[in-house]
Structure 1
Amino acid sequence: MKARVIEDELGRRRATSACSQPCPIENGMRMLGGKWTGSILWHLQFGPVRFNDLSRMIAAASKKMITERLRHLEAKGLVIREVVDTAPVSVEYSLTKQGRAALTVLDELRKWAEALDPEAVG
């Protein structure tokens, strides 16, 4: 059921009924809205990336935060984690088909952000 917004006699807006399920925007934000999530996906677009390389690419994020985001993305089916049998052992991350599909959204976000007034970003 879709929520309807009505105005009362004083001009206040309120919802008449709530949605029983999260809307598609909420679901999308749950997948992509976490801090550094978009940056991680963006940096994985050209192929597998080792954790330490990803960490250097996103220098402003702590390794702990990157690890948390990668675990979230892996749990949601957007990223694949692969242990590489090298000396020393390393871990690479790559995009799934669903993760690759998210790049379209991120590219539109990039275009929108580039068109913003820099002062508005603040």
Structure 2
Amino acid sequence: MKPRVIEDENGRRRATSACEKPCPIEDGMKILGGKWTGSILWHLQYGPVRFNDLSRMIAAASKKMITERLRHLEAQGVVTREIINSSPISVEYSLTERGKTALLFLDELRKWTESIEPELYGS
């Protein structure tokens, strides 16, 4: 439901009705809005990645944080986790079909960020 917005006598805009339930943006952000989530999905786009490799790809994030995000994404059906019976045993993550659909707007985010980088970094 789109909230109705009106202007008061001072020209300020305000909503007159609220959504009855969380809007789709809020619901989507509950799934994908966590710190490092976009980076994790982006690095999984080309195929399965072992946990330690993913951890090296996102060096600024702690292993604990990556683990938390991966567990959340797995619970949401966005990534799958597979135990590899090698020596030593390792874990590999990949995108589900649902997860792959997020790449569309992550690529748009990448393009948008690249378009404003001169403004962000003063170049």
> Which residue number corresponds to residue 62 of structure 1?
62
Give 1:5 shift: 0.8
After TM superposition, the structure 1 = structure 2 runs for residues 37-116 of structure 1, keeping only pairs within 5 Å, are: 37-116=37-116
Residue deviations 1:64-89, cap 9 Å, x none?
Answer: 11001101111111000111111111
Q: Percent identity?
A: 76
Which secondary structure state, in structure 1, belongs to the residue aligned with residue 31 of structure 2? helix
Mark the runs of 5 or more structure 1 residues left unpaired by the alignment: none
Query: For structure 1, which segment, 79-88 or 27-36, has the greater mean C-alpha deviation from structure 2 after superposition?
Result: 27-36
Give 1:118 shift: 3.1
Which secondary structure state, in structure 1, belongs to the residue aligned with residue 91 of structure 2? strand
Runs of 4+ in 1 over 3 A off after TM superposition: none
Q: TM-score, normalised by structure 2?
A: 0.92
Mark the runs of 5 or more structure 2 residues left unpaired by the alignment: none
Q: TM-score, normalised by structure 1?
A: 0.92
What is the root-mean-square deviation in Å for CA atoms of aligned residues?
1.5
- For residues 121 and 32 of structure 1, the distance between their equivalents in structure 2, rounded to whole angstroms, comes to 26
